[in-house]
Structure 1
């Protein structure tokens, strides 16, 4: 025959599992800020990356818009658009390079090893 239900034993087993779960959760260390030092990219690096992205996109958009506008105004289609896109790309690369150089210069002033000081 089957054993009769044991509510007291079930309650003890649930309490035991709960206690072990609380003990296991207590052992896990919560992440702490490392006084501005993180394992990933810093906020400054993220800002420079976004600036590079925006400079590239803005250069292409402005160059493309001006080229398209000149095409419509002067009837040079598609040469102004192509020229505007190329010049916009060059301007975006130039602005991105300047942002990267400024970041590298600031990083060199802050110190660091020779590996960190190399320009990209």
Structure 2
């Protein structure tokens, strides 16, 4: 038995021990419309809070009020909208990774 066969056998045993060789059924549970709405709201609000907080802190530190606040407000808004876009339009998984 060569080194590769030995590794393959140890890998197979480790996967069986950890339960990683069992097929996964379905995938993530479907979300209700309320769940999607709540998640979308949290995504937008959290991105805005981070952007506003970062802009406000940098403005106070650098004394540039209100410019960095406005820039990071816009960046936070864009990040929130992109997060919601990704939530409702997930990218299809590539076939190369699945095979």
TM-score range, shorter chain: 0.5 to 0.7
TM-score (norm 1): 0.48
Counterpart pick for 1:62 among 50, 66, 71: 50
Is it true that 1:100 corresponds to 2:88 in the alignment? yes
Gaps of 5+ in 2: 1-29, 93-99
Q: Indicate the residue corresponding to 2:32 in structure 1.
A: 44
**d(CA) in 2 for partners of 1:43 and 1:63?**
28
Deviations 1:3-59 (A, max 9, x none): xxxxxxxxxxxxxxxxxxxxxxxxxxxxxxxxxxxxxxx952221111110111111
Q: CA RMSD in A?
A: 2.0
TM-score (norm 2): 0.58
* Larger relative contact order (CA 8 Å, sep ≥ 6): 2
**Residues paired across the two proteins, number:** 63
Counterpart pick for 2:63 among 54, 75, 86: 75
**d(CA) in 1 for partners of 2:31 and 2:75?**
31
